[in-house]
Chain A
Amino acid sequence: MNQINEPVAMVVNGNGEPIGFKWRGSNFLVANKPTRWFARRQWWKEAARVQRGIGVDVIEVEMWRLLASDLAKHTCLQYELLHSVNSNDWRLVLVYP
């Protein structure tokens, strides 16, 4: 399991589910039905302000776990990606194994 924290360019389908992304110059194609969940942030360690109405982003983050094949290397691995809903930024955070 490798911890990574790098931006990726993501393509999603009509339901907002990832179908492919570009990372470190390679193209990846999603190979299963991805699983989405919501993880939490430790806002007390990170946030500058938490006033009423600041929004859910300081506490919660959307995560995706999926299998994807590297179209260049012909490998298929499990990846975890973090999706910032407001900015629509995607970051790759974990690669298994």
Chain B
Amino acid sequence: MTFPHLHVASAFSGHYGVTRPELLAEATAARGGTHAAVTDRNGLYGAVKHIGACLKLGLTPIIGVSLNILSDDGNKLARCVILAHGSDGGLGWSALCQIVSKANQTKQKEAGIKLSELGTLATRDSLAVATVLLGPDSDFGNAVLAEDRVTAAASLVAWRKALPHRGSLAVEITTHLTEPGTPYSMVQARRMLQLADNLGIPAVLTNSVRYLEPDDALTADVLDAARHLEPLGEFTPQPNAQAWLKPQRLMEKLAEEITEEKARAKKLLDTTHKLAEACSLNPEKDCDWGKPKTPEKALLGIDGNPFEVLWQKAHAAINWRYPNAREKKLLEVKHRLSKELITINQLGFATYFLTVADVAQMIRDMRIRIAARGSGAGSLTNYLLGISGVDPIDHDLLFERFLSTERSSLPDIDIDVESARRHDIYRAIFKRYGSQRVTLLSMQSTYRGRGAMRDSGLALGLDDEEIDDIAKNMWRFSARSFRAATETKPELAKFSKALEADRKMNLLVDITERLDRLPRHISMHPCGVILGDGNLLNLTPIEPSGMGLPMSQFDKDDMDPMGMLKLDVLGVRMQSAMAYAIREIEKTTKQHIELDEIPKDDPATFELIRTTNTLGIFQIESPGQRELTGKHQPTEFNDLTIQISLFRPGPMKGNMIAPYLDGRHGFAKPEYLHPDLKPILQETFGVVIFHEHVLRIFDKMTGCGLAKADEFRRSLEDPRVAQSVERFFKTQATNRGYDRQTIEKVWEILASFSSFGFCKAHGAAFALPTYQSAWLKTHFPTEFIAGLLTHDPGMYPRRLLLAEARRLGVNLLPIDVNHSKDEFLVQQLPHSPAFGVRMALTDVKGISEAEVQRIIEHQPYESIADFYLRAKPSRKTLNNLALVGALDELAQASGHHRGDVMQRVKELNLLKTRPKEDPNQTSFVFDLKEQLPRTEDLSKEEKLQAELEILKMDVTEHQIEQFRPMLDAMGVVHSNELVSLRNKSDVLIAGVRVATQTPPMRSGKRVVFLSLDDGHGTADATFFDEAQERTSGILFNTRLLLIAGKTRRTGVNGVSIMAENAWSLRELWSQWLNQQKAG
């Protein structure tokens, strides 16, 4: 056996370790090692990756943790490594998990466990199941260093007393060859060994490793700075660069130097070997490696065979999902279901499906909207179990893309829920299955460009602003190639110049490159929940998460190796917005809408989509999708699936959009390559877009079956395997009688398009909320806008939603202290049967949550003074509320206007203290039937300005309206009129900038896309070189613009403007006003 390193921090020891576990294991294997340990700080963060790497390399894995050990009164006694014993049926592993979980259950900044608790958890039935290594960083080590033999011996005795069982304690001998008299020096190690020998406690040799090579010590310095949050030089740094994974030869030499005696050195190494043997994990038996784990049957309400239950459940749902199906259709459904169930049974995943179905049912019972996403929508079983809402038969989706016997990894079923209820769902899952079976998933974020640079700057003590300045320009390149980037990227030219003269800047570049890709910190995964059986917490350590519920220290990559069931419950704001709209519809119309049951072929909905007024509609509201909508003109649900799938990086890079549109509009004759492929590719006019297409083509031409076809599709991306796939494809296709030319052509498309394609099931799953939101926008615009404003699901600012609301004829009701709440409610208009959206209090600049709650709690108010006394707003909030007209209604009854309100608010705000609320007290100032002063009202412009300033929204009217006389005089066109103009007409448009994009172009030339909102919709203008030069002063920063250009048709309902020039509206306005005066 070569020397086994038993104390090794991997890069998953946050801000401490430098080397990823895979690299450490590879180095050990390359040296002919047999055992490899990872002992991360405060957790088992790198454990699963380490075990996986060991199994791959044929090494025996050892896992431990490095923890602070505390006395009973909470003082730090030591930082110790605790190693789990192995091959003991999982006793060691589960003890380690529990020790780590316990240590992290602390209010202190860093994890820690009391020695007494450690003693209890590290033994089982008076037998040690873990070994604690007492090293130099301890009360014992400190006493040895102070040459206080009595104290040293006493503390060692105390440790043995706390860990009395054979094998539960070993002294860790480590030297980093530091200066004599300091920690980790040779003399300290020697004396520690002598004392251990005197008391008969076994001693082992480690090198307390933090990095693979000495060169990495420099990276460790930078991580130390990040951990201390202080620049280098401000704290005590590591003593030298000795904490690396030293080879056998050097470790033996250290042993000899420490012991100064060959025989004792040999014994030290032997004891180390023996401990490594005791800690050798058998991943399958100790950690339940790779075995799928689900909640116990009883918890899912099952007795008997889970597969039979699944079979019955799915079949029982056929009537629900296909109520009026004919015999032929039912046969098709049953046939497909049988095929899916056979696969599920073969893989042993029945309980898994039942679990997900149980969670989905629970969510629905909570009356929370739920939808599937991803390839799971391709499964009929999921559709029947209510996990997915898309019919895979209707939409031609394939189960094999989701699950097949060719792969045995647990499938990913991702579900989308209302974002606002996500945490409620987590809590409900914990409650339903019990906290011993559920934890949240964690996520390791890694250093990337800017983060790496910021922490590097901190380590060097560079000025924050300076760092931010450079960090801002770190776009589209990885920190790893930072130096190369400084030489080629124009935006870093200034910095590149500085590099020539500035030493610190050079260091900054070098250490930024070193930090790149290292784990940075752990946090709660945005949507993952782990569901296991009653043994879950014996298999994974947990720690508190940001939201209070415990989370596993394992991340998503660890789930499959550990056989853990991960459920992605993703919060989607659009789902919240739609749920909100439905609630408001029910409130105002008493009409209950079952959104998942509405027919998916409503002509009015598609008509609305085709106008390209898609603002607020899921997935298709961006400028690019709007343009595509204009060209594409969808008429049915499948069109939405195709459109969503086309507008993705893959299909865009693969240049699939243009040929598809040409085929659809009859500009080009679809090319099917072979009559056999026509049924497969008809929906996309011969263009291979979906993974499902690739699967079907493979299957059709080779007869390999869809499951195998998906394996082929996956391996196409690997050039080594692709060759053998190519051989298989060509031989089989030839055998089946296809001609050479067809085979060559099809193969070319398969090979090149595979990495560009998109999973149709995923597109179809997304198309459902797209259709649903479009339907709501079509039929219930007021309630839908209220939902959008409340849950803000889209990419645009709220004020653009208001513009859209006005365009749709939705009434907007101003903020009012008597009627506004913390949500955008649908309310009846005063003196009218019509409804409108009431602006919420939450959007007032600077208003606190407590103020909002107080205002709501004390509604209604009789007067301004009454509001002032009971709602107790701050001066600023009172002023802001008055300015945006929230107090107008209180004054209107007595015939007063906002100017008077402002005057009254000024009086109130002058009072030094707010008088106590006292009904008996009557003073002039607080007479509830107050007399308002008479002053001049605010001008229309002032009111609009206040709204924009305080609410960031123009509620009373579109801000463009203030320029109306000038715009009309100039003949400015409304954006909704563009579509009726001839191609290449000269036009002027005016509006508020809502989006500016400069996508990278193949030619390398920059094109600027600018979207303006003018209250009638959104107009998109394109600026090429010349126009960019002409308008350089305002192109990127002026908000209100007038653009001159020519119309350019892009499709039936698609028009954009080729800009020729642009001006600031405000400047034009003041010139125009002057002219009017002069005129």
**A and B found bound together:** yes
**Residue A74 CB within 8 A of the other chain:** no
Among candidates B177, B233, B503, residue contacting A36 with C-beta atoms closer than 8 Å: B177
Give the residues in chain B near A37, CB-CB below 8 Å.
177-180, 185-186, 240
**Residue A22 CB within 8 A of the other chain:** no
List residues of B (211-229) whose CB comes within 8 Å of A's CBs. Answer: 214-215, 217-218, 221
Give the residues in chain A near B510, CB-CB below 8 Å.
49-52, 54
B506 touches A49 (CB 8 A): yes
Give the residues in chain B near A54, CB-CB below 8 Å.
215, 218, 510
A55 to B218, CA, bound (A): 9
B484-516 Cβ-contact flags toward A at 8 Å (1 or 0): 000000000000000000010011001101100
Give the residues in chain A near B238, CB-CB below 8 Å.
40
**Residue B242 CB within 8 A of the other chain:** yes
**Residue A47 CB within 8 A of the other chain:** yes
B178 touches A38 (CB 8 A): yes
**Residue A86 CB within 8 A of the other chain:** no
List residues of A (57-90) whose CB comes within 8 Å of B's CBs. Answer: 58-60, 63, 65
Among candidates A43, A45, A48, A65, residue contacting B218 with C-beta atoms closer than 8 Å: A43
Instruction: With both chains docked as a complex, state the minimum distance between the C-beta of B122 and any C-beta of chain A, in angstroms.
Output: 34
What total count of A-B pairs have CB within 8 Å? 82
B240 touches A40 (CB 8 A): yes
A65 to B186, CA, bound (A): 13
A8-44 Cβ-contact flags toward B at 8 Å (1 or 0): 0000000000000000000000000001111110111
B503 touches A35 (CB 8 A): no
A65 to B511, CA, bound (A): 33
**Residue A56 CB within 8 A of the other chain:** yes
B177 touches A38 (CB 8 A): yes
Count how many chain B residues have C-beta atoms less than 8 Å from C-beta atoms of the other chain.
32
Instruction: With both chains docked as a complex, state the minimum distance between the C-beta of A47 and any C-beta of chain B, in angstroms.
Output: 7
Q: A40-B239, A60-B217 are in contact. Are A50 and B185 (CB under 8 A)?
A: no
Among candidates A35, A38, A55, residue contacting B242 with C-beta atoms closer than 8 Å: A38
**Residue A53 CB within 8 A of the other chain:** yes
Q: A39-B179, A48-B503, A50-B510 are in contact. Are A60 and B233 (CB under 8 A)?
A: no
Instruction: With both chains docked as a complex, state the minimum distance between the C-beta of A15 and any C-beta of chain B, in angstroms.
Output: 10
Give the residues in chain A near B459, CB-CB below 8 Å.
44
Give the residues in chain A near B241, CB-CB below 8 Å.
38, 40, 56, 59-60
A36 to B176, CA, bound (A): 11
Instruction: With both chains docked as a complex, state the minimum distance between the C-beta of A17 and any C-beta of chain B, in angstroms.
Output: 12
A58 to B357, CA, bound (A): 59
A38 to B179, CA, bound (A): 7
Q: A37-B177, A40-B241, A45-B233 are in contact. Are A52 and B513 (CB under 8 A)?
A: yes
A44 touches B233 (CB 8 A): yes
**Residue B860 CB within 8 A of the other chain:** no
A65 touches B239 (CB 8 A): no
Give the residues in chain B near A42, CB-CB below 8 Å.
232-233
B233 touches A55 (CB 8 A): no
Give the residues in chain A near B218, CB-CB below 8 Å.
43, 50, 54, 58-59
Instruction: With both chains docked as a complex, state the minimum distance between the C-beta of B483 and any C-beta of chain A, in angstroms.
Output: 8
| Pairs A–B under 8 Å by Cβ, sample size 13 | A35-B180, A35-B186, A37-B240, A38-B178, A38-B239, A38-B240, A39-B239, A44-B232, A49-B510, A50-B514, A53-B215, A56-B215, A60-B242
Given A40-B237, A50-B514, A59-B214, 20 more pairs with CB closer than 8 A: A35-B180, A42-B233, A43-B218, A43-B221, A44-B231, A44-B232, A44-B459, A48-B506, A50-B507, A50-B510, A50-B511, A51-B483, A51-B514, A54-B218, A54-B510, A56-B217, A58-B218, A59-B218, A59-B240, A60-B242
- List B residues at the A interface (Cβ < 8 Å): 176-180, 185-186, 214-215, 217-218, 221, 231-233, 237-242, 459-461, 483, 503, 506-507, 510-511, 513-514
